[in-house]
Amino acid sequence: MSDIKAALRQQSIETPSWAYGNSGTRFKVFAQEGVPRDPYEKLADAAQVHAFTGVAPRVSLHIPWDKVDDYGDLARHASELGVRIGAINSNVFQDDDYRLGSVTNPDPAVRRKALDHLLECVDIMDLTGSDTLKLWFSDGTNYPGQDDIRARQDRLAEALSAVYDRLGEGQRFLLEYKFFEPAFYVTDVPDWGTAYAHCLRLGPKAQVVVDTGHHAPGTNIEFIVAFLLREGKLGGFDFNSRFYADDDLMVGAADPFQLFRIMYEVVRGGGYGPDSGVAFMLDQCHNIEPKIPGQIRSVMNVQEATAKALLVDGDALAAAQAAGDVLGANAVLMDAYNTDVRPLLAELREEQGLDRDPMAAYARSGYFEKIRTERVGGRQAGWGA
């Protein structure tokens, strides 16, 4: 048990700056009280999540949603709050110029503009000390014949290679895939195989990021995780949960058993721990629930799934598998999943000087009452901003 506690103490979950701003669907963005008015206030809210959970020390930024004049100053502000800048997320999907794509656009001038933005994001990594660039492309086509599928792959490869060459020592990029939306016919990076092939060709600084909401229903995500880890190409996760498409709901809300299965493969494949290089990021929007508690709950859900994954009796499982004991092997996994790890995590927090119950402690802290009165005119997280 002390091994498990030691491993849990090392956990590091990254929260996204856009989770703290107002968000919604294309039908309606519901404004909430006290939401951040600038990137500095987003970091302050993220610092609350870390203060109450002890395992969320990093915050992903999104450019240009988190554009500031002085990125060094923003990074200093983060460290004064007890957090640091995590992945820099690029945005080549919000300009009119990108109607037919960004780096895969048939127009070379648009491709140049998109590439310049990606290179600017690497400059921001230099200024903030971030080691990770996260690339998601909305590029694709809506109709058969609209553009040349092969040529678009060539343009994508060319852009990725230029970004790769710009990366400095200790920096990497993570390529994100998504099976559809906003493109409805061809998506240029639709699946892990496409992302993997591009990354493999480039080298060790290019890895794949698995957003858990980006697969067709029924896809076995833990298989993808096991495969990528085995190949040294799993760079991290964008955790969230979904019932239908890319819902961006709280991780572990829709299917905690799937989250456990994923975390088991992470642990099994050596993807857990500070040296693994696997980043555990959240990519979520809290459209109707309060944002800081939504992040705290999500972080706790990842922690619970991790604790259960660490509890799996590896020796018993290996013995049952070697003996061909189908039901015995399944029982070993289910025993861990069915364990109530909440008392263990409460104890762990107490040992770290934290409250046993982060949700209740945040609610009591008075932070929400403070931001609700201090902040007027909070900004939208991003979509349609």
Q: Which of 176, 222, 265, 355 binds ligand AOS (CB under 6 A)?
A: 176
Query: How far is 301 from 278, CA to CA, in rounded Å?
Result: 18
Is residue 238 within the footprint of Zn ion (CB under 5 A)?
A: yes
State how far the Cα of 281 lies from the Cα of 14, in Å rounded to an integer: 4
Q: Which of 188, 238, 265, 355 binds ligand AOS (CB under 6 A)?
A: 238
- Sign of the C-alpha dihedral computed for residues 101, 142, 235 and 128 taken in this order: positive
CA atoms of 354 and 63, how far apart (whole Å): 33
- Which one of residues 66, 222, 283, 355 is an interface residue with ligand AOS (CB under 6 A)? 283
Of 42, 62, 111, 155, the residue at the interface with ligand AOS (CB under 6 A) is 62
| Whether the Cβ atoms of residue 212 and residue 243 lie closer than 8 Å to each other | no
CA–CA distance, 147 with 102 (Å, rounded to integer): 13
Report the nearest approach of Zn ion to the CB of residue 89 (Å). Answer: 8
Q: Closest approach of Cβ 356 to ligand AOS, in Å? A: 32
Q: How far apart are CB 246 and ligand AOS at their closest, in Å?
A: 5
Does 14 contact Zn ion by CB under 5 A?
no
> Cα separation of 209 and 218, whole Å?
19
For Zn ion, the binding residues in 144-163 under the rule CB under 5 A are none
CA distance 49 to 297: 9
Residue closer to ligand AOS by CB (options 139, 283) is: 283
- Cβ count within 10 A of residue 157: 16
Q: Is 177 in the site for ligand AOS (CB under 6 A)?
A: no
Cis ω before 64 (30° cut-off from 0)? yes
Q: Of Zn ion, ligand AOS, none, which one sits near residue 89, judging by CB under 5 to 8 A according to partner kind?
A: ligand AOS
Q: Give whichever of 251 and 309 is closer to Zn ion, judged by the CB atom.
A: 251
The span of 217-225, 236-244, 305-313, 376-384 binding Zn ion (CB under 5 A) equals: 236-244
Residue 82's alpha-carbon distances to 50, 74, 356, in angstroms, are 8, 13, 20
Q: Using CB under 5 A, which of the segments 18-26, 76-84, 246-254, 266-274 binds Zn ion?
A: 246-254
Binding site for ligand AOS (CB under 6 A): 18, 62, 89, 136, 176, 178, 211, 238, 246, 283
